[in-house]
Structure 1
């Protein structure tokens, strides 16, 4: 059953979501026609869409935070019944999930207006090509002045879904396709669109007409080779086949889809129990409809007044109104906007709490219109006096203001603005955040110190709070906007006593950062004084008890014969009886005070323990932080040593490569020298006649190739015989021969000849 309470993700459109985003931001911020392509799918890509909007309109979105924060706030702000009507999105599909509400007896209820997106969810899948037309039809059938509830009955919804599923779309049209084809053949394209709009019904505007034309053109593009007359006939036939079953379902279940006043059905009226924190109240207009007694005489076109739940139950109990008729309806607000609610039936308007309207209104003045930059504040005195018909100083119960009244209030103030002076914009915060001095510099840059000379005095408290509640590591531009807004708001409140009284009576003082309300402080002082006085009175009553006991004993000792004494005794007994009752009450009160003091004492101890625990945790955290910093420094030193060693190793590698290259070069030079020596030795053997004695004497310095008796010469390095034809090298000092490879290896580690131990500087 829950599948009908969730909008199909294919019904979401990017432009619809973008319009929701624009409805959230201040009207004074610039917007423009979107010139880029959004992702095809909206669900899961909301942040990407917002990021694209932020890139396109950077200045517009600076005060609203990251794309994730914007998406969260926009979804929250636009999630209420009939949001499409309030946001002007009548040409698109329903794109907000219906909500289930609960009564005080925990029974489930649906708002009647949420039944229409449920019907859209039921037909989705069989009529996807024409889902926009189906939605336009359903919105035309949705009553504009109805805020009523029905019990959530899964069985009835299943029956409706079965009816829509069982009916054949093609059989729902009374006219045959051939007759329809002949009818369409006589129509121009413009006349065809007029006929389609008439079939769908409801009031039409250019946006809705354009949507129908776009859907037709899509069908035309799917089969461009098909004659346009055939496309017209098929499209009209399919659209009507989808609309007619929906029309019959609505007619069959009027108690679900129409106001009770139009159905003739006797139904117990429901009343929204509006919940804002610990406050619970109802609209006087809705309560009047429920009990048949008019209580909303104060209401006008712009304001709706309320009455607390406790007062309702005390005055009317359950005789005129059942507890089950109270539908719990939470008041929701985002960081920058209050979520609207629909007025009581038969209202067509949307409202927000007066205190939420107050903050939205002054946010538009201070940030959007930049009203108070370098101006004379006194010029607005008369304007703010006029606003007291909206922001009522003496009203102590919550009440609502119509949403479009905020625009009317802004126009009143703008009349007293005077000539615009080229107001300056808030500059961007630095990547690593902004300081208290940066905030003060920004107040001067915006020339707010000219209008409010004391404004910098509020900067420190506001900066401390903004820094405490920031959502990211560093303070951002959106945090700077918040700080500047609250600095101005405190200065304005301190100049307008009636606005201060309004804010106090509507429980909004705590929402202004850094603001001190004298009435709230007096209230706290009075509470403390009342507790002290009650304790003091208990002590006085205890002291009087002993005096009364003495008089009681004296009366008992008087003889019974005296009538006056008897009467006095009787009077005294009655007094004693009253005193006893009073004492019992006093004891109970004393016990309550004792228990309260004990609870306060226990809470104080718990608070002290908690503070000690927090202090201890802070110390441990500081120690851990210090250890972490120490470890971080050690790691940093190690990293530096590793980096240094790495550099040294790199230099060493370079040196090794250089030496290796030089060694290879030296080896080639040595080999060439050996080759030359060998060639010279062979040449000498051929050209010179050396006797055997000379050969024997020069055994260590000459190459022996005698055919008769070649001498045997060993290499001292490897101890192997030097054979004829092997490459050799000899010591320039002692002329002893060695294998050239052995000599090269020897020279890598030694500088002396292995035979004569002489230094070999030339080798």
Structure 2
């Protein structure tokens, strides 16, 4: 039997592999990786390794593919993701051979079970191995018949094809399994026949079609015979219910339990997009007396997506579900790494506004696992669409020698995430430590950097939306979140520890009371009677003590359970209160951030105005100095005119005594040398062409820069100590 559980190479098709890969990749990554079947290399699929096809997808996707790791890692996760019963319905490949290997399930006694739909895949595998070199065309007809089997059909001999034209041959093929020929299948059959035949009466095309016809008809006839002879394998004779296992959690779908027990009230809480569950403890307590076979059904996950689970009894391609906690991670991975929403929006409020419309789908009050229809997740993603003119940056490649804690911080800055999440760098260290602890290779790679960037953003989102933290805790998703510390988990651990200590104390007190009871006296009539009476009395006493202790223990257990219930209620109130406070705190922080930004802008405006004022003061001083220089020139001209009119002989001479009286700092090197004046502030010479300022009282000159600096700290002239109103 085990030989028929693996899908033969001849049944594997590139179309199926491509559709499975597209479904696994993020929506934003699919457009760059799309290609038709015709773009695949001309070699047949069985001649080419799957890795080569995935390499083609990687080359077309470019740098976006780096988040999935190597080609081998992607293919490994893809095989986990795509192997589930009736996967052809989910990936919409009904006209292709079965691609997913059948799965063996076990009941609680380790008895082996196989899902009914998987048994048809086993039949396909048997046919492939028995017939050997079967063509893909013939296998497709057989597989579609297996998927759509409804009624037995009459079969014709292949030799009749030699007397028919292409249209008649097409009708003969359709007669093999009338139920399978929809528009798509009919078009495919027409393409097959006309390509091989072209209405040509030569023997080779007819022989090729005849072989396919003969193989398909023989196989279908064998299948019909096997099903009729082994009807017990296909008819449901045992009442079975899937028991889902997710870590230590065990639960069933209420809808499936309702179909078996007939208790319709179990479905009362279900909605069109939501299926509720019941824990196995509650199932055994209420329905354990019924003869139900529980089949262990593990919840499987690839790295980037959970494996879809079909609702039993449905046939539509949309009746596939995942756990709500998996829907949560898939949605936010699409938002963070696919749409890069937090790199594009201006404020977190933009995200909050969009998220409010779908937040109700993550039912915070539900404390048991529940399933969400996969189509609802796609609807959520559409609701989270937004318009933005900002361009998001791509995550850069990690260095060959690995990724460091500082590299992660630098990448968060590079992506612009610090703008919307100022606190995000504070989460980098703990996230880096956890990502490093689960790395697959010696050094952290680019795919690990993608994981770290995603986790840092998700922590920031959870801290700002307290209801999401409660949802994640109630759905047991905290431990799957790298670097995340759940305060609700810590409170529960503390409560359980307190309860355990209380039980130990109660047990010790009960034992102490048992051994402190006084011995009862017995009558001393005869020795044997006395002994018997004594034994009976002791036995009765011990029995009474045991009953009393049992009652006492039951009372204490009830009291403890009641106390625990009150503690839980109180804890829930505290959690809700803290959630509300956290939300208010987040709003206050956001308001404070806005106020700080406004304050920063005002300070910048004040600084700018101060600089402009300083420049203006300098300009005024320069203008003042220029005006004074012009006044001095005019005064000198007037003095020159006056002197020339009174005494023309003294025009070229300078009275040294007069010069010395006018300024004590002027020095003359010779009688005919130019006048030399020093600035009293800096004690350096005032040279020709330098800008000067003159005291309006004593007419003493100073460098303009020196006077400006002096005026900042003094109001008196350094020469005459008079007020300087004019400077």
Shorter-chain TM range is 0.5 to 0.7
Q: 1:195 to 1:233 in 2, by over 3 A?
A: same
* Correspondences of 1:35-114 after superposition (within 5 Å): 35-37=39-41, 40=44, 42=46, 45-114=49-118
Please, which of 366, 387, 396 is the counterpart of residue 418 of structure 1?
387
Map of 1:378 onto structure 2? 349
- 1:63 Cα offset (Å): 0.3
Per-residue CA distance 1:240-289 (angstroms, 9 max, x = gap) = 624641563376268468675xxxxxx23211111111111111111111
Kept in 2, the 8 Å contact 1:429–1:477? The answer is: yes
- 1:214 Cα offset (Å): 5.3
Map of 2:377 onto structure 1? 406
Q: 2: CA distance between counterparts of 1:538 and 1:234? A: 83
Range moving further from structure 2, 55-64 or 269-278: 55-64
Q: 2: CA distance between counterparts of 1:176 and 1:533? A: 82
Per-residue CA distance 1:450-486 (angstroms, 9 max, x = gap) = 2211111101110111122111122111001000100
Map of 2:140 onto structure 1? 135
Please, which of 122, 127, 131 is the counterpart of residue 126 of structure 1?
131
Kept in 1, the 8 Å contact 2:108–2:295? The answer is: yes
* Correspondences of 1:529-544 after superposition (within 5 Å): 529-537=498-506
**TM-score for the superposition, normalised by structure 2:** 0.65
Map of 1:10 onto structure 2? 10
2:251 aligns to what SS in structure 1? Answer: strand
- 1:105 Cα offset (Å): 2.4
Kept in 2, the 8 Å contact 1:383–1:413? The answer is: yes
- 1:12 Cα offset (Å): 2.0
1:84 aligns to what SS in structure 2? Answer: helix
2:476 aligns to what SS in structure 1? Answer: coil
What number of residue pairs does the alignment pair up?
A: 530
Map of 1:216 onto structure 2? 193
Map of 1:387 onto structure 2? 358
- 1:426 Cα offset (Å): 1.3
* Correspondences of 1:576-725 after superposition (within 5 Å): 581-582=547-548
Map of 2:489 onto structure 1? 520
Q: 1:113 to 1:36 in 2, by over 3 A?
A: closer
Range moving further from structure 2, 7-16 or 274-283: 7-16
2:380 aligns to what SS in structure 1? Answer: helix
Kept in 1, the 8 Å contact 2:364–2:470? The answer is: yes
Q: 1: CA distance between counterparts of 2:149 and 2:445? A: 42
Please, which of 26, 31, 34 is the counterpart of residue 33 of structure 2?
31
Per-residue CA distance 1:561-603 (angstroms, 9 max, x = gap) = xxxxxxxxxxxx999975565568999999xxxxxxxxxxxxx
1:427 aligns to what SS in structure 2? Answer: coil
2:118 aligns to what SS in structure 1? Answer: helix
Range moving further from structure 2, 123-132 or 493-502: 123-132
- 1:538 Cα offset (Å): 5.5
Per-residue CA distance 1:65-118 (angstroms, 9 max, x = gap) = 112211211111111111111112223221222122222222222111112122
Q: 1: CA distance between counterparts of 2:549 and 2:205? A: 97
Kept in 2, the 8 Å contact 1:283–1:344? The answer is: no
1:280 aligns with 2:262: no
Q: 1: CA distance between counterparts of 2:270 and 2:230? A: 30
Q: 1: CA distance between counterparts of 2:411 and 2:180? A: 50
Map of 1:468 onto structure 2? 437
Q: 1:517 to 1:237 in 2, by over 3 A?
A: closer
- 1:392 Cα offset (Å): 0.9
Range moving further from structure 2, 34-43 or 12-21: 34-43
Q: 2: CA distance between counterparts of 1:225 and 1:213? A: 17
Q: 2: CA distance between counterparts of 1:138 and 1:339? A: 23
Please, which of 155, 162, 168 is the counterpart of residue 173 of structure 1?
155
Q: 1:110 to 1:540 in 2, by over 3 A?
A: closer
* Correspondences of 1:287-436 after superposition (within 5 Å): 287-294=257-264, 295-318=266-289, 320-322=290-292, 325-346=293-314, 348=316, 349-375=319-345, 376-414=347-385, 417-436=386-405
Please, which of 406, 414, 422 is the counterpart of residue 437 of structure 1?
406
Map of 1:501 onto structure 2? 470
Q: 1: CA distance between counterparts of 2:295 and 2:408? A: 46
Mark the structure with the bigger radius of gyration. 1
Kept in 2, the 8 Å contact 1:305–1:399? The answer is: yes
Map of 1:252 onto structure 2? 228
Please, which of 474, 479, 482 is the counterpart of residue 451 of structure 2?
482
Q: 1:579 to 1:108 in 2, by over 3 A?
A: closer
Per-residue CA distance 1:588-637 (angstroms, 9 max, x = gap) = 999xxxxxxxxxxxxxxxxxxxxxxxxxxxxxxxxxxxxxxxxxxxxxxx
- 1:354 Cα offset (Å): 1.1
- 1:489 Cα offset (Å): 0.6
Kept in 2, the 8 Å contact 1:91–1:132? The answer is: no
- 1:61 Cα offset (Å): 1.5
- 1:390 Cα offset (Å): 2.4
Kept in 2, the 8 Å contact 1:141–1:202? The answer is: no
Q: 2: CA distance between counterparts of 1:471 and 1:175? A: 57
Per-residue CA distance 1:663-693 (angstroms, 9 max, x = gap) = xxxxxxxxxxxxxxxxxxxxxxxxxxxxxxx
- 1:33 Cα offset (Å): 1.4
- 1:333 Cα offset (Å): 0.8
Kept in 2, the 8 Å contact 1:271–1:327? The answer is: yes
Q: 2: CA distance between counterparts of 1:13 and 1:270? A: 34
Q: 2: CA distance between counterparts of 1:347 and 1:93? A: 18
Q: 1:218 to 1:116 in 2, by over 3 A?
A: farther
Kept in 2, the 8 Å contact 1:397–1:505? The answer is: yes
2:356 aligns to what SS in structure 1? Answer: helix
Per-residue CA distance 1:374-393 (angstroms, 9 max, x = gap) = 42221233433332342111
Please, which of 112, 116, 119 is the counterpart of residue 115 of structure 1?
119
1:173 aligns to what SS in structure 2? Answer: coil
Q: 1: CA distance between counterparts of 2:171 and 2:399? A: 57
Q: 1:342 to 1:365 in 2, by over 3 A?
A: same
Map of 1:678 onto structure 2? none
Kept in 2, the 8 Å contact 1:432–1:474? The answer is: yes
Q: 1: CA distance between counterparts of 2:286 and 2:311? A: 24
Q: 2: CA distance between counterparts of 1:61 and 1:503? A: 29
Q: 2: CA distance between counterparts of 1:437 and 1:238? A: 67
Q: CA RMSD in A?
A: 3.9
Kept in 1, the 8 Å contact 2:104–2:113? The answer is: yes
Q: 2: CA distance between counterparts of 1:521 and 1:529? A: 12
Kept in 2, the 8 Å contact 1:103–1:109? The answer is: yes
Q: 2: CA distance between counterparts of 1:494 and 1:122? A: 55
Kept in 2, the 8 Å contact 1:81–1:113? The answer is: yes
- 1:17 Cα offset (Å): 2.5
Q: 1:459 to 1:121 in 2, by over 3 A?
A: same
Q: 1: CA distance between counterparts of 2:349 and 2:180? A: 47
Q: 1:399 to 1:201 in 2, by over 3 A?
A: farther
Q: 1:50 to 1:138 in 2, by over 3 A?
A: closer
Q: 1: CA distance between counterparts of 2:262 and 2:157? A: 48
Q: 1: CA distance between counterparts of 2:267 and 2:230? A: 28
- 1:543 Cα offset (Å): 7.8
1:404 aligns to what SS in structure 2? Answer: helix
